[in-house]
Amino acid sequence: MIVGVPKEIKNNENRVSMTPAGVHQFVAAGHEVLIQKGAGLGSGITDEEYIKEGAKILDTAKEIFDSAEMIVKVKEPQAVEIEMLKEGQILYTYLHLAPDKPQTIGLIEKKVVGIAYETIEVNRKLPLLEPMSEVAGKMASMMAAHFLAKPYGGRGMLAGGVAGTHSAKFVILGGGTAGINAAKIAAGLGAKVVVMDVNLERMRYLEDVLPKNCETIMSNRYNIMNEIKDADAVIGTVLIPGAKAPHLITRDMLKLMQPGAVIVDVSIDQGGCVETSRPTTHQDPVYEVDGIIHYCVANMPGAYARTSTFALTNATLSYGLEIANKGWKKAALENPAIFKGVNVYDGHVTCKPVAEAHELPYTDLSLLIQ
């Protein structure tokens, strides 16, 4: 199979979807790998490193899209990239379709095979999302602590305080991979940390593994309203696989919060779990609503590109190789994880939460590829 890796063009997206080690393995398996010139530079990977492992370097994204049978990316295709896709082409990347109807319609119209990293599922876990959730969770507490500084509009609270003063209070919505990593960093900074979740078993685990300046509280509207009243930072990490994130904090709840408090909405890729959230960029990361600072960068791990690239490709490589080795249909039929990753195919939406989010017809993939 001819596998193409274009340079990411989303604002400040410095990750790349394949490392030299990945090229080595694809080439060893008999595939041809095309890399766009400079695609790895944001992650500290040179064209020469790719060439050494057998990749061919092409100058433009159009050459990549024109030649490749499978496009491997990091972020969802931008409008100009959707235009370059071809019918039947495999697109293997983060898609996050539920909050993005224009992209969904674009992929339907192009009749591509859209395989989303974020819906590949194994034993109720999302192995291709987890490494980026680790990065985003750790970043979330770092960014919250940063924007709490008065020059950036925050309350002027130091996360850990100092002797004789209160430490900041961080409320984390969701105790999954992003949530636990946010809690670790916030706790390490010395903040008082409250992790809210609906799963008692998960909260028992968190109580065991997190330090003593963390506590868990059952997540419901009443408790959320109480906990955010004196919060200095609120970090939203809620995720329903493939679906639009629910709004756990509504616009009217912002008035309960202290002026200058910071919200970091890690869920923004799936629409955000705060009603007033909207996607921002690393170039312009925050805005204010009703006195509350919102940080809603939609590609947080792109800021720590080298770490994120290697963490992501460690997870994506084996599935990408399986798709290339077997062809996507055989791979999907033989591997339920890949089957769940197929969001669109031949003009059909094959991921039910995406269809429901946009009120589009849903087609069971098994009816299309048996």
The answer, yes or no, to whether residue 80 has pLDDT greater than 90, is yes
Number of separate domains in the chain:
2
Same domain, 214 and 343: no
265 is catalytic: no
How confident is the model over 47-73, as pLDDT tens digits? 999 999 999 999 999 999 999 999 999
How confident is the model over 338-352, as pLDDT tens digits? 999 999 999 999 999
How large is the average pLDDT for residues 105-118?
A: 98
Residue 242 — very low, low, confident or very high, per pLDDT cuts 50/70/90?
confident
Choose one of 303, 331, 357: the last residue of a domain. Answer: 303
Same domain, 96 and 28: yes
Same domain, 272 and 213: yes
Same domain, 349 and 282: no
Mean pLDDT is lowest, of 205-209, 237-241, 303-307, for: 237-241
Same domain, 324 and 283: no
pLDDT of residue 346: 96
Given the residues 197, 269, 294, 358, the one annotated as active site = 269
pLDDT of residue 188: 98
Residues 6+ apart with CB under 8 A from 292: 254, 257, 259, 260, 261, 262, 263, 276
Choose one of 270, 287, 303: the last residue of a domain. Answer: 303
Domain that holds residue 288: 134-303
The answer, yes or no, to whether residue 370 has pLDDT greater than 80, is no
pTM over 0.85: yes
Choose one of 265, 280, 303: the last residue of a domain. Answer: 303
Same domain, 81 and 192: no
How large is the average pLDDT for residues 123-128?
A: 94
Question: DSSP labels for 11-60?
Answer: TT----S--HHHHHHHHHTT-EEEEETTTTGGGT--HHHHHHTT-EEES-
Given the residues 96, 247, 294, 348, the one annotated as active site = 96
Same domain, 117 and 157: no
